[in-house]
Amino acid sequence: MAQQKSCSENESLHYARRKFFKQSTLLTALALTPPSLIKAAGDNLDEKASALFEKQSLEIEVNGKKHQLSVEPRVTLLDLLREQLHLTGSKKGCDYGQCGACTVHINGKRVLSCMSLAIMQDGKKITTIEGLAKGDELHPMQQAFIKHDGFQCGYCTPGQIMSAVACINEGHANNEDDIRQNMSGNICRCGAYPNIVDAIMEVKQKGGTI
């Protein structure tokens, strides 16, 4: 028993020594570390890293209004619209370019704004869902979505409408199958697809581009 107790005491002593050496080594390392590095380690590194990106000037026209901005090269068009210009109609769904909720028009072409860098849009004209209506007068596609109940929860609706307008203007709304094919990049979790097709067909049948 005495021998077992002695072994136990020796193990405790070794553990205490190892702990002491580890703590001493850590304190020595901290003492040798410049204060600036210690402070940086305690801050949010992501926020600090973002400050390393030099902002660049950007001039764009959004919904007919010109903006002169200063943005980081890594900022997406979607984040610029939502966070700097406070145009929150364009939704951040998957943020991987797979759901279509962030669809906007750039120089008349539909684009996934979550996959587009803001800095690449310098000098371009951008239209968001907020720019379709003329004052209190809704765009024909907006009216058709309401008439045909083309939305339920409404989260995907801005992107659906922007793609629907582009679908007609691009000449891809000749029949229902054509519409389904060219609207396939816009996901509706509520399953309002038949009503969306009906809305697009009605606007198309009223004639031409919009």
- CA angle in degrees (0–180, nearest 5) for 9-10-15: 100
Q: Which two three-digit tokens encode residue 196?
A: 């969306």
Round to whole Å and give the CA distance between 125 and 108: 8
pTM: 0.75
Instruction: In whole angstroms, give the CA distance from residue 161 to residue 177.
Output: 18
pLDDT of residue 201: 96
Q: Binning pLDDT at 50, 70 and 90, where does residue 23 land?
A: low
Is residue 28 within a helix (H) or strand (E), and if so which, with residue range? Answer: helix 2-32
CA 47 to chain CA mean position, Å: 18
User: Residue 75: is its pLDDT beyond 80?
Assistant: yes
Q: Are 128 and 62 in contact (CB under 8 A)?
A: yes
What is the pLDDT of the chain when averaged over all its residues? 85
User: Locate tokens 């193990």: which residue?
Assistant: 11
Long-range CB contacts for residues 82-91, cutoff 8 Å, separation at least 24: 87/62, 87/63, 87/128, 87/130, 89/128, 89/129, 89/130, 89/158, 90/128, 90/129, 90/158, 90/159, 91/155, 91/156, 91/158, 91/159
H helix or E strand, kind and range, residue 125 = strand 125-127
DSSP string, 37-91: HHHHHHS-HHHHHHTTSPPEEEEEEETTEEEEEEE-TT-BHHHIIIIIS--TTS-
Cβ distance 164 to 201 under 8 Å?
no
Q: What is the pLDDT of residues 37-49, one digit of tens each?
A: 555 555 555 555 5
Structure tokens at 50: 């973002």
pLDDT in tens, 81-133: 999 999 999 999 999 999 999 999 999 999 999 999 999 999 999 999 999 99
Band of pLDDT at residue 2, cut at 50, 70 and 90: very low
